[in-house]
Amino acid sequence: MRRSIDFGPRGRLWMRWRTFVVSKSEKHVKAEPSGRQPAGRVDAEEAAGASREAPGIGRGVTLVGVVGTIDRGGGAEKAYWNISSGLRDQLGFDLVQVSQLQPSEPLADDRESHVLRPVGKRGFLGLQQVFALRRVLRRVKRPAIVLPFQLNTNILTTVANALLPAELRLAVVVNDRANIRTKTTPTLERGLGWAIRVFLVRLMAAWSYRRARMIVCNSQANAEQVRAFVGVPNSKVVAIPNPLDVREIQHRFPARDRSSLADPSAPVIAGHGRLFYGKGWETLIQALALVHREFPGARLRILGRGVQLPELEAVAEAAGVRGHCDFEGFTPDPFPALESADVYVLASRSEGMPNSLLEAIALGLPCVSTDCPTGPAEILGRDETIGRLVPVDGTNEMAAAILELLNNGETRNSLGQAARRRAEDFRLQACLDAYAEVLADCIPGASEGLGG
């Protein structure tokens, strides 16, 4: 049960709306029997009714969003932009934007913006950013709530907030967007210095998360890991999946029959995301080499950029498929190149709730994904009606799943149609409804968080 708090007139308005929505609220913290994560589906009529019942629930409240970078190239950045914009536009919060790094291009809207580390400036152990954020938090118009995204900014924000005088501290709602166990487990693979750094991050993350008012995770599996990692009551940790602009995507790309390959002699396998070790691209490239035994013209289309590009090119060369791997770089609109593919593959070793896979199912692509922690199983389920799950680093299993889809048009079409329907569960409105409930419990007037 949530805390029962009298928020005054605004809170009573919220509670009237909450009687409509709260009956569905448990959906975003429980998994379905199939293993899929329900995103709290709210249809158009319900969303419109909720909006009319409680207009501007955040009116007069400042929402301070803190991210590493506001550039929307990564999954967490896309999720943050959509969530923060929705909370401002639909619920009336006054949005103040804080990013650690200078955006590479001007913001797409007129939100108030602060940069903690201007280009060319570095501080000792990040202290410059801590005190810069402390100044922002001290000066923002009250009442206010702070909404940091991702592990590093969660720690940064909690430290900066703790350095304020007690009477000026704000409610902090941290957002964990990756796999907390992977991010905070020290190993010696990258050297002793790296292991020490991760160990210190682990200590700081546990301290920070205990001080937070609420912890939002983007998958149920990660929420369970966070509860165990931090040791806080279940009611303090909620799972709210990443939002997806399903209607926009599916309006641009209507459903189509996928029972025939676009080019049977050269079927296209696609994936998109950053090029780094955690995404498992080398496994997919090696799987392509196995697929070539049956489909020698098959091509792999990879959209994204990152430090691993030279290494991946070398892997493709060694596997004998360099001429069939198209590294197309980053594009702000990857959907046309993805939708025209025959099969989509996510090869990640670890995720939070992968936006890339959500976008693929919205496009109606038949999908193969690693069963990595965390996210893919909650999207595709384990009953094989929406997609195929294979072991992490399972080159043979990945190739077999790809071949199954390339060889069976009826299966491709069936999975693609089911994927489009599943995408409806991750609509932006459902995500905003869930965030509205969390933020309402943080409107000033509530007691301070559990940590001290």
pLDDT (tens digit per residue) in 330-340: 998 999 999 99
Which band of pLDDT confidence, cut at 50, 70 and 90, is reported for residue 234? confident
The neighbouring-strand residues paired with 238 are: 216
Residue-level pLDDT at 305? 92
The answer, yes or no, to whether residue 204 has pLDDT greater than 60, is yes
Q: Is 108 exposed, middle or buried (0-12, 13-18, 19+ CB in 10 A)?
A: exposed
CA atoms within 13 A on the CB side of 190: 10
CA dist., res. 422 & res. 245, Å (int)? 13
Spans of all domains in the chain: 8-243+428-440, 247-426
Task: Name the pTM for this structure.
Answer: 0.77
Q: Does domain 8-243+428-440 sit in CATH 3.40.50.2000? A: yes
| Residue for token pair 């595709």 | 380
Q: Percent of the chain beyond pLDDT 70? A: 81
CA distance 4 to 14: 13
208-228 mean pLDDT: 92
The pLDDT tens digits for 6-49 are 333 333 333 333 333 333 333 333 333 344 444 433 334 334 44
Q: The domain at 247-426 falls in which architecture?
A: 3-Layer(aba) Sandwich (3.40)
pLDDT at 44: 40
User: Is it true that 8-243+428-440 and 247-426 share their CATH fold?
Assistant: yes
Please tell me the predicted confidence (pLDDT) of residue 191. 81
pLDDT > 90 fraction of the chain, expressed in percent and rounded: 59
Parallel, antiparallel or unpaired: strands 343-346 and 367-370: parallel
Q: With cut-offs at 50, 70 and 90, classify the pLDDT of residue 390.
A: very high
Helices and strands (H, E) in the chain, number of each type: 17, 13
359 pLDDT exceeds 80? yes
Inter-residue contact 273 to 267 (CB < 8 Å): no
Between 110 and 359, where is the model more confident?
359
Strand partners, 173: 214
- In degrees and rounded to multiples of 5, residue 431 shows phi and psi of -65, -45
pLDDT of residue 383: 93
Site of tokens 């419990």: 441
Average confidence (pLDDT) over 185-210: 84
Model confidence pLDDT, tens digit, residues 276-313: 999 999 999 999 999 999 999 999 999 999 999 999 99
Confidence at residue 194, expressed as pLDDT on a 0 to 100 scale: 75
Overall average pLDDT of the 258-274 stretch: 96
3-state secondary structure of 35: coil
